[in-house]
Structure 1
Amino acid sequence: MSTDHFFIELHRHSEAKLKILDNYLVPWMRKITMGSFGAERALVIDGFAGAGSYGNSDGSSIRLIKHAIDFCEQADANNRKRPQLLILLIEGNEENYQELLKNIYRVTSLDLSEEKGYIPIPDYPSIQISCRFGKFDEVLKSRLDNLGTRETLIPSFCFIDPFGFKDTPFEIIKRYLKNEKSEILLNFIYEETNRFITAKNEKVKAHMQRHLGLDDIDSVQEMVKGKSATERKQLIVDLYSRQLLDNTNVKHILSFEIKKDGRTKLILFYGTKSMEGLKVMKKAMWKVDDTGLYMFDDRKDPNQIEFQFTKELNDNALLDDLCDILTDSLSGKILSINEVEEFVLTQTIYPLENFCKKVLKKIENKDGFHNVTNKNGKRNRGTFPPGTVMHFK
């Protein structure tokens, strides 16, 4: 299938997923190289790098490079050592690949046309880029095979944004996620998956089975039969989430629905083993849609996808909702601030910023605790510093 038309202009529903990538990547780099991981190096993979440009906007591959450069410049400004960043770009369309090489040269002055290994950017030698022509699963499999006696990749993040469901066999995603510090942001092609999941053609069924990581698609076809659009979508999302949780070391899954003309076009799946990663990605997704639904709909106000920091909350209904969730779910429990934050992070739709401590203050003002103490000393009412312990009524 030709994809040339796709790169002429960046459509708004595609911009939503790239905004999430923008919002997440630098905090991820900071978390890996300067945070608790303290890794010397980190790897970023773009599995479907495209041409690097949509004409009216940078594509994901060029954004990754620019984010890495920005991060190095932040390190310089703060007198920190530049992080060691490897960027692997994979593209399987020959025309797009050649255009990608030109765009990489435009941004970095790197000529990668004859190079297969990682080559440093002249002005930013701690950033090294490898650009490979080939199918995503084949190139990634080759890289994983080449680990040799090493058991795992360095800490890595893989952005997977295919054009069709047959390009992302679950087996390679499963193998990649076996690495201890690996994460994915996957564009799950929901529209095509939903259309062909009940196909009777054996070739299509085989592609679907590989896509979903199933030995047999017949039981799933029977399961979705007669279901409403909403029920069917929930079944498919739950199925893929379970596949990730049951077959990899991923501990946390976030999904983000992207609509076009009112129809579900894409569902982004984020998978991580890290609580900190979950925290950062929730914040990244909330910047694109702060309704709490984790849904982008291109029929809404165009300003919804403008980059902005987490908004000051105007709608008290969201705070009231989280307040009800905590008081109902945690009634009678004695929990530390860390345990409450973990509950909000893993069991609710809300990110921590602008929500958790505001809601705890609201609960305290409503006399919703038997008592609140701080093992590190005194605390001011309405504040919840480290060491705070709450006994919920």
Structure 2
Amino acid sequence: MAKTKEFFNILHAHSEAKLNILDEYVVTWMRKIALGPFGEKALVIDGFSGTGVYDNNKHGSPIRLLKHAMNFCEQAEKHGWPAPKLMFLFIEGFDDNYDELLSNIYKLTRLDLTGEAGFERLPGFPSIEVSCQNGSFEDVLESLLGELKSGYTLIPSFCFIDPFGFKDTPFDLIARYLKNPKSEILLNFIYEETNRFIRAKDPKIQAHMKKHFGVNDLNELTELVSDKEAALRKEIVVDFYSRQLMENTDVKYVLTFEIKKSGRTKLILFYGTKNIKGIKVMKKAMWKVDDTGLYMYDDRKPLQDIRFAFTKEIEDEIMIGDLANQIFEYYTGSRAYIEEIEEFVLTDTIFPIEVYAKKALVKLEKEGKFKEVRNRKNKNTYPKNTIINFN
């Protein structure tokens, strides 16, 4: 395929927000897999890699991912940790972009992937293996999944899916990938384009849309969004796709993040995982991009929202109070382990536990909302296995 230059010229702020979330998450994910009790090999799949470098010299996902991996290996050697075993599969369908990607990887790593189809070890970092595939995301992932022998699954894997439009990400393929036990996705759901064409009458567009949502009949969804105002229509679409992931794959947790450009919703990130530890890490990553609890980035915000330190402190106090009320309302008159409370915060509230959970519990304790706290030495601390009896 010929290169579509418009997608790869400049890294805009709204797209950088997406990559910042990827950065924050994938570093921790690699560490948890590679340095975990089993020291497993980890696979990162970048489904729409692009050239790796934008025209304004900012790095795209492939170069960012490789730099994170190299830094991780250097840190492991410095601390005497086992060398992390990391694999990267970069997929790029446009021929010119693919050639540039190989060139940019070579400039960073001195790894020559010209003519190579399999995984090659990174010079100086033998525990890192890299493969670049010149083909569509659908074809390459189909091939990868097809190579698995009966009864076998992928090694722990994370798939970053950042397409150009809705026709490039068939739901059934994503569902097949997610059948692997230790697999998860960060999907760039192209909302603006989906919203524009969801009720199109063209049979070809309808066929792509059905594959996009993983349905045989679009009537249910189109009837739900018909004549709805923009905010409600968006909520319906997000809920529908979330339910598709929850009901048709082994995903247990879904987290979304909205990204706006010039006030319009361009895309919505869908994170799907089977592991609550993944939600903990991803919430923290998303919170770094937007700490308002909205899970939304708007490229106009820096011009509109200049918050002073004291304003942030007031907002934090309000959020701590809000979370404290939610915890107390849920557990009032009952007993719970700290682990249960943290799971409730992660799965039933907007808050990441690192930022607000312990502060909310301290607030409740100071207000006399606890009957008794067991399995701890110091007041206002809540170590592992702490048991709290709520009034």
Same fold (TM over 0.5): yes
SS for the counterpart of 1:301 is: helix
1:83 and 2:81 are equivalent in the alignment: no
- CA spacing shift, 1:53–1:44, aligned 2, 3 Å: same
- Separation in 1 of the partners of 2:71 and 2:276? 25
Give the whole-Å Cα distance in 1 for the aligned partners of 2:163 and 2:262: 21
Mapped contact 1:39–1:155 kept (Cα < 8 A): no
Contact 2:171 2:211 in 1 (8 A): yes
Aligned partners of 2:76 and 2:82 also within 8 Å: yes
Distance apart, 1:55 and its partner CA:
2.3
Distance 2:336 2:247 in 1: 29
Kept in 1, the 8 Å contact 2:253–2:279? The answer is: yes
The aligned residue for residue 52 of structure 1 is 52
Residue identity in the other structure for 2:372? N
1:145-184 alignment runs, 5 A limit: 145-184=146-185
Partner SS for 1:67: helix
Q: Is the 8 A contact 1:254 1:269 kept in 2?
A: yes
Partner of 1:72: 73
TM-fit CA distance, 1:313: 8.4
In the TM superposition, what are the counterparts of 1:247-258 in structure 2 within 5 Å?
247-258=248-259
In structure 2, the residue matched to 1:124 is 125
Matches within 5 A, 1:304-323: 315-323=316-324
**C-alpha contact (below 8 Å) 1:345/1:352 kept by paired residues:** yes
Quote the residue 1:355 is aligned against.
356
3-state secondary structure, aligned to 2:354: coil
Distance 1:388 1:247 in 2: 36
Give the whole-Å Cα distance in 2 for the aligned partners of 1:140 and 1:356.
39
Structure 1 stretch displaced more, 314-323 or 204-213:
314-323
Shift of 1:43: 0.2
State the alpha-carbon separation in 1 of the partners of residues 355 and 106 from structure 2.
Answer: 41
The 10-residue stretch of structure 1 (67-76 or 208-217) with the greater mean CA deviation from structure 2: 67-76
Kindly report the root-mean-square deviation, in angstroms, between the aligned alpha carbons of the 2 structures.
1.6
Q: Which AA in structure 2 matches 1:68?
A: A
Q: Distance in 2 between matches of 1:34 and 1:302?
A: 41
How many residue pairs were aligned? 383
Match of 1:286 in 2: 287
- Paired position in structure 1 for 2:139: 138
Q: For the Cα contact (< 8 Å) 2:3–2:95, is it kept in 1?
A: no
Q: Quick one: distance in 2 between partners of 1:9 and 1:313?
A: 37
- Secondary structure of the structure 2 residue equivalent to 1:129: strand
Please say if 1:372 is aligned against 2:373: yes
SS of the counterpart of 1:350?
coil
385, 389, 392: which one pairs with 2:390? 392
**Is residue 313–residue 354 contact of structure 1 (8 Å, CA) maintained in 2?**
no
C-alpha distance in structure 1 between counterparts of 2:315 and 2:187, whole Å: 32
Contact 1:312 1:354 in 2 (8 A): no
Q: Paired residue for 2:231?
A: 230
TM-fit CA distance, 1:4: 0.7
SS in 1 for 2:209: helix
Amino acid paired to 1:390: I
Output the amino acid matched with 1:196.
F
Q: Deviations over 1:46-74 (max 9, x none)?
A: 00000111122000111111111111111
Are residues 266 and 293 of structure 1, via their aligned partners in 2, closer, same or farther at CA, if it must alter by over 3 Å?
same
| Aligned counterparts of 1:353 and 1:15: Cα–Cα separation in 2 | 24
